[in-house]
Amino acid sequence: MSISVEEFRVSAKAWLADNMPRIEDRDPTLDDPENDTASWNRTRELQKMLWNGGFAGIAFPSEYGGLGLTPEHQRAFNAESRPYELPFRINIPTLSICAATILDMGSEQQKRDRIGGALRGDELMVQFLSEPRGGSDLAGVTTRAERDGDVWILNGAKIWSSGAYAADYGLCLVRTDWSVPKHAGLTMFLVPVHADGVTIRRIRQVNGSTEFCEEFFDDVMLPADAVVGEVNGGWAVASRQLYWERTSMGGGSPYVSGVGRGVAPAASRPLTDLARSVGRLDDVKVRELIGESRANHLVQAALITRVGAGLAGGHLPGPSASMTRLFHAETDWRDSDIRLEIAGSAAVTGPTGEVGELFLNRQAGSLGGGSTEMARNVISERVLGMPREPAADRDVPFKDVKQGRA
């Protein structure tokens, strides 16, 4: 497909106006945590609408269901799509992390099946990375897979998987060799979420949401073609996955269906509207806060553009994506604080009570996609070249690494 960015923009603008629902007409009950299943069903429906209209997977290669266009074409579509209801919940992690990782590291069949399934709105994907006992040491996973003839038998547990209950497949990092150092004995698998032996439990958060899940794998049978990349080469796949996670959390992914992450309305509502609703729009201090937020978002947009260009042109190393991820977290944090300061006591009462609920979930921005502390470590060590922190388990066979209490 050959079309200029401007021609594509004009085409997208006309199609969106004729086919996609306006954001102001969106059913507000879909934002209720208790109505989560309906929200996911709506996400699939909207993605199918994009697919049928020829605007799904704009920057994904055409052989896997996309349009084969550039990130600039995707950004043009994003700009025109802002007034419309779009399937934002499919962006993270299905399209911008999981499908992007499979595009880079998966087999031809995995690319055709999983990327195509996601773009059609038929499938959702999730990440099975963190473990209950693992903390931030992703390479220290103990969920294991053992070969039994032509199949692998999976056992263990994962946690903090966003939307796992609604997904169809999960990218699952497990240990397949205990005789080598921790990074060398890992393998990435594509696990059918609802396969026999997989148990999913939803975790209720302080704001009432049950989006996060924990998973238990009991003798789950996986075929050989479930391996993504190479056996015992899972760290290379995980590293690429983390790159796309940081890129998407920072707002720089070219593989999304419109701009947005499916965040709560309170997080996207203009601060001027909030200030006006509580009668403080003329307050000089409030205007300064609104200006501060605006400046942060302008800097964030410029940072995304600069880092994205640097990564695409090879001028910046891959870990530089952590810079956009870190700044995104800091901006989200500050916005939550500013909203609370503007709303005052109204943050927990009346129509602006959602501001207080949003503040309860404030820390999420510093944890999703890896903690801000991890992002700072990545930037310091892998971008700035500062000395790495010492690690007692480096180059030690994982079976000899002490687990749990000494």
- In total, the chain counts a number of residues equal to 406
Task: Assess contact for 189 and 227: CB atoms under 8 A.
Answer: yes
Residue 153 pairs in a beta bridge with: 146, 221
Closest CA to 77 of 9, 6, 5, 7: 9
Q: What are phi and psi of 217, to 5 degrees?
A: -115, 120
SS3 labels along 106-163: CCHHHHHHHHHHHHCCCCCEEEECCCCCCCCCHHHCCCEEEEECCEEEEEEEEEEEEC
Q: Are strands 125-128 and 169-175 parallel, antiparallel or unpaired?
A: parallel
238 Ramachandran zone, left/alpha/beta (phi>0; psi -120 to 50)? alpha
131 carries an active-site annotation: no
- Give the rounded distance of the alpha carbon of 177 from its chain centre: 29
Quickly count: other Cβ atoms within 10 Å of residue 104's Cβ.
Answer: 16
Task: Assess contact for 227 and 174: CB atoms under 8 A.
Answer: no
Residue type, 132: P
Please identify which of the residues 85, 214, 245, 354 carries the catalytic annotation: 245
Residue 154 pairs in a beta bridge with: 145, 220
Residue 151 pairs in a beta bridge with: 148, 223
SS3 category, 176:
coil
The catalytic residue positions are 245
